[in-house]
Amino acid sequence: MTPSQLYNELNYVNHSREKRLYYANLVISQPELISELLAVLFNVNDKISCRAAWVFEFMCGEKLEAIIPYLDEFTENMHKVHLDSAVRPVAKICEYLITAYYSKSENAIQTALNARHKEKIVEACFDWMINDEKIAPKAYAMNTLFLLGNEIDWIHPELKLILERDYQIQSSGFKARARHILKKIKI
């Protein structure tokens, strides 16, 4: 499939799980399409970038190891994503990566994810926490930062400060996740 064919195919992706999974499996079966998918995803002002983000999230959900050759590109560019429909899947991918990294089960992400990748994920997650984002990216960011804070000592105090500061002005979904995370933070 050529880059232009992939771009055209992304027009057929919608919110249905069936369509996102179909295209995610298509990319998994043709790994050479991943770089093209990322190119569309990081063309952040194009509405189709959101559809690329949905497919990329589903691809990572099905086969997270497929992101390994693209970790540098993903972590270096994810902060550019700004459309709401694309931010949520990018935040979810960060949560997938960090959850796999701290998993008790040995996996390829644990050796592939380096300090620079984690630093970029921390930066993006704090940006999502302090910026005017919807609840889903904030919820994924909270969990990601909590996990990283078990290793990086300054994260939990900063996260706690943000959660307590924003608690009264945020949605009930934010409050529920914040309560859960605050109970786990031991400061």
Alpha-carbon span 113 to 100, nearest angstrom:
10
Which segments within 16-97 are labelled E, that is strand?
Answer: none
pLDDT at 187: 60
**Spacing of C-alpha 43 from chain mean position:** 16
Low-confidence ranges of the chain (pLDDT < 70): 187
pLDDT of residue 111: 97
pLDDT in tens, 96-130: 999 999 999 999 999 999 999 999 999 999 999 99
Delimit the domains of the chain by residue range: 3-184
pLDDT of 4? 83
pLDDT tens track for 165-182: 988 888 888 888 899 999
Amino acid 130: pLDDT: 94
For the packed helices 48-62 and 3-10, what is the interaxial angle rounded to 10 degrees?
A: 100
- Specify the fold of 3-184: Leucine-rich Repeat Variant (1.25.10)
- Cβ burial, residue 132 (10 Å; 0-12/13-18/19+): exposed
Which pTM does this prediction carry?
0.94
